[in-house]
Amino acid sequence: METLLVIAFLVLFALGICKVLATRKTVIKQPKLGILDLSNGEYSSCIGADKTVLQKVFHTLSESFDAPPVCDVLMIYGHVDLGGGLRNSKLGLREIIRDSKASVVIFATDNPGNNYLQAGKRKPYGRANLVMTLDRKGDVFAQFFQRLFTAMKQGTPMPVAWGKLAPQIPNRVHKDCPDTIFACELGQIAFA
């Protein structure tokens, strides 16, 4: 009986710790935006438009065409193949996340959802709050992320801000939001 009480206590203690960790907010001071263009220039107009709208929210911005820049928020432009590989990259998505050290990673170009399934497979490294874009909806993409990042800079954690901007209600269409898949792997991230 005593063993059962100890086990029950340990389980409850572990659940309590998990709950505290799950609700703990990570605040990134002076967030850095990184852009990784794997498209050989195909998306240069999208990148230019996104930079114009988003760079105001970030402390610094760095760009690369091969190795991922070290940053807090990484935006990747390019194609995800059916098998999950990233065209024009020797690295997979999880390796890019690991090498960039980014807490938020956004695949900023349209790709089919099935292609993301393999690319986003979890590994023991390269975790982030990961956004995979299905349909940018033109200028809606940059405007949505400007609102999201502005809310995060005001201290609202990413999942909370996301829920306010794009409430997850079945069959609800969000005309002012891009179509995306959001995998909240790191949880409550905010900016300062």
State pLDDT tens for residues 37-88.
999 999 999 999 999 999 999 999 999 999 999 999 999 999 999 989 999 9
Picking from 166, 86, 104, 179, the residue whose alpha carbon sits closest to that of residue 138 is: 179
What is the structure's pLDDT at 183? 94
Residue 151 confidence (pLDDT)? 98
**Side-chain-facing half-sphere of 156: CA atoms under 13 Å:** 15
Token pair belonging to 62: 């760095």
Reported as a single tens digit per residue, the pLDDT across 95-148 is: 999 999 999 999 999 999 999 988 888 888 899 999 999 999 999 999 999 999
pLDDT at 15 (0 to 100)? 43
78 vs 109: CA distance, rounded Å: 6
- Is the pLDDT assigned to residue 164 strictly greater than 70? yes
CATH fold of the domain at 27-191? Rossmann fold (3.40.50)
**With bands split at pLDDT 50, 70 and 90, how would you rate the model's confidence at 13?**
very low
Query: Once rounded to an integer, what is the mean pLDDT over residues 164-186?
Result: 91
Q: Where are the domains of the chain?
A: 27-191
